[in-house]
Every structure is written in structure tokens, then in C-alpha cells.
Amino acid sequence: MVELVKPALEHLPSYKAALERGWSPDNVRLMEATREQLAAIEKDPTAFLADLDDPDAEGGPITLPDGTRVPRLPGFRRWIWDGEVAGSIGLRWQRGTAELPPHVLGHIGYAVVPWKRRRGYATEAVRLMLGEARALGLPFVEITAKPGNLASQKVVLANGRRLVGRFFEDAAYGGAESLRYRIDLYRLPTIRQRPAEVASCFGATPRYARQARPPRRPAWLWRQPPAGCDSHNRH
Ligand SMILES: CC(C)(COP(=O)(O)OP(=O)(O)OC[C@H]1O[C@@H](n2cnc3c(N)ncnc32)[C@H](O)[C@@H]1OP(=O)(O)O)[C@@H](O)C(=O)NCCC(=O)NCCS
């Protein structure tokens, strides 16, 4: 069985062992990130773990592959766990909108250790992370994948994606062509199923919504109707 765990001291030896075997949880910075993480674990394991769970974006800026430093977005990382660390998956977002800045390649990024691939772990990890994104109130998540990364495309496909289109990655990543997928988190709601969500999308609070349970979307996240609600409800 595979699950997502919040990185904690009890998982750290297994994570460190995976890094020492040459795996990188960072699909862009690869071994540079592995070396940095091993050094950070050595220096202060608790601070390293805290940095992986930062829903309030309290940590310092992020360094992009070209050395540019950008403000950190709210986000957190979970480890894919089957009794030992099998991979890593992260979710990041901006407050008040489902959109992302151009230098952020998708809401969700993931990597599975090479010796545990093709067991369905990434597919299941994304499925579990979609639950977390839904709980935050995001109407959709975007995932990007290189045209040649068939494995990643299949992972997104298995999770109900639609292709938004091709785009060129931000110059900080080298400007290569990539694919952007979107996974809708709220299907066309019916009044019986999701009255509060209908209300929040249309900026209204009809009587049926007032009578319903409060939406799971926390108030701080959406100060205005979420981007994407509109097209969403016209399917
Ligand atoms: C992409 C990645 C996360 C997939 O992890 P995984 O746990 O092996 O994925 P799954 O087992 O859930 O497989 C998903 C599908 O991809 C297929 N697949 C896996 N590896 C593949 C490969 N090398 N080539 C083609 N298809 C592959 C699987 O057969 C499965 O297809 P199916 O649904 O038709 O059976 C993993 O290969 C990886 O970590 N790659 C490097 C990092 C990366 O590319 N991350 C994604 C960035 S967007």
C-alpha cells in the first residue's frame, strides 16, 4: 500500500538513504538539489523538515535554475511512503486565485525513486494530493510535463486531466516547450450535492446555500469568486 506522509524525523533516515543512492526529488535541479538537501539534513534536520511544510510561505525565497530568486509560494511536500520513502510530491498555490506565476511549473510536482517506478505509485500519489488541493478550495490544478515524459503524461491522464495546451517554459528554466494539463476538482455541481460551492462560484448566497453546510473552501483563500469557476460551471 502506498500513502502520503508528512515528512517527519521518523521518515528522515529512509529519505536520506534515497538521496544517498543518487535520487533527486527535484526534476529540474536534479543532483544539485540532492547535494543541497543532504547538506541541509546534516546541518539541521528539524529545520529541513519544517521547510518542506510551509502553507503560509514563511520560508525564504526560492532559487530558480538560472539563479533568479523569487518569493516562495504557500505550499507543502509529502513523501510517498510504502514502508520506506518511495518518492516525493509537492503542492503549491497562490492565495486568492487558482492561477500561478509563469515561473511556477504547475501546482503539483512529483518524482518516484527509480527502483520503485511502474508500480502505480505516482498515479496514486497524485490522486491523494488532489484531495488536499480540493480541501484548499482550488477549482483545478495544473500539472506540466515535457512532451517526451510519457510516464508523467500517463500519470496525469489516469487522474482525469485535460490538455490545456503547449507553452514555453519561463526563461529561468531555459524556455523549452512543454505541455500544460489541467485537472478539474469540482465537476458541474448539482444543488443537492454542492450548493455552497455553486454559491461561491457565482458570488451569491441563495437560500439553499445558506441552509447547507459551510463550504470546505476556507474563507481566507477566496476573497472573490475563484478563477475558473465560471468556465467550470458551463460544461
Ligand atoms: C514520472 C514518474 C513520477 C512516474 O512514476 P511511476 O510511479 O513510475 O508512475 P506509475 O507507476 O503511476 O505509472 C504511470 C503510467 O506511466 C507508465 N510508465 C511509467 N514509467 C514509464 C516509462 N519510463 N515510459 C513509459 N511509460 C511509463 C506506467 O506504465 C503507467 O502507465 P499505465 O497507466 O498505462 O499502466 C517517474 O517516472 C519519475 O519520477 N520520473 C522522474 C521525475 C518526473 O519526470 N516527474 C514528473 C515531472 S512532471
Q: Domain spans of the chain?
A: 3-137, 190-235
Residue 49 corresponds to which cell in the numbers above?
Answer: 523538515
Assign domain 3-137 to its CATH architecture. 3-Layer(aba) Sandwich (3.40)
pLDDT band at 42 (very low <50, low <70, confident <90, very high): very high
Q: Alpha carbon 226 to chain centroid distance?
A: 18
Q: Return left, alpha or beta for 166; rule: phi > 0 is left, psi -120 to 50 is alpha, else beta.
A: beta
Tell the residue number behind the cell numbers 539563479, with chain if given.
67
Closest to 16 measured CA to CA, from 29, 39, 157: 39
Query: Could you give the CA distance from residue 215 to residue 200 in angstroms, rounded to a whole number?
Result: 8
Residue 187 corresponds to which cell in the numbers above?
Answer: 465537476
Q: Measured at the alpha carbon of residue 138, what is the angle toward residues 132 and 139, in degrees to the nearest 5?
A: 120
Q: In the structure, which protein residues have their CB atom closer than 6 angstroms to any atom of ligand 1?
A: 27, 109-112, 117-123, 145, 149-152, 154-155, 158
Question: What is the CA(33)–ligand 1 centre distance, in A?
Answer: 21
Nearest CA to ligand 1 atom 10: 120
175 Cβ contact partners less than 8 Å away, ≥ 6 residues apart: 168, 169
pTM over 0.85: no
pLDDT band at 200 (very low <50, low <70, confident <90, very high): very low
For residue 87, the ligand 1 atom closest to its alpha carbon is: 39
pLDDT score, position 208: 36
Q: Alpha carbon 142 to chain centroid distance?
A: 8
Closest to 149 measured CA to CA, from 32, 28, 31: 28
Nearest CA to ligand 1 atom 31: 154
Q: Give the mutation target among 152, 156, 180 for probing the ligand 1 site: most ligand atoms within 8 A of CB.
A: 152
Q: What is the DSSP-derived secondary structure letter of residue 139? A: S
Question: What is the CA(29)–ligand 1 centre distance, in A?
Answer: 19
Question: What is the CA(212)–ligand 1 centre distance, in A?
Answer: 41
Query: Could you give the CA distance from residue 13 to residue 26 in angstroms, rounded to a whole number?
Result: 18
Write b or e for each residue in 176-190: b if 16 or more Cβ atoms lie within 10 A of its Cβ, otherwise e.
eebbbbbbbbbeebe
Question: What is the CA(121)–ligand 1 centre distance, in A?
Answer: 9
pLDDT at 224 over 70: no
Beta bridge partners of 161: 183
pLDDT, tens digit, 9 for 90 and up, residues 104-161? 999 999 999 999 999 999 999 999 999 999 999 999 999 999 999 999 999 999 998 8
Residues 49/9, Cβ–Cβ less than 8 Å? yes
Neighbour count for residue 104 (Cβ, 10 Å): 20
Nearest CA to ligand 1 atom 26: 151
Residues 53/77, Cβ–Cβ less than 8 Å? yes
Nearest CA to ligand 1 atom 22: 151
For residue 119, the ligand 1 atom closest to its alpha carbon is: 11
Q: What is the DSSP-derived secondary structure letter of residue 221? A: T
Closest to 28 measured CA to CA, from 75, 67, 64, 72: 64
Residue 96 corresponds to which cell in the numbers above?
Answer: 486568492
pLDDT, tens digit, 9 for 90 and up, residues 98-115? 999 999 999 999 999 999
Question: What is the CA(31)–ligand 1 centre distance, in A?
Answer: 20
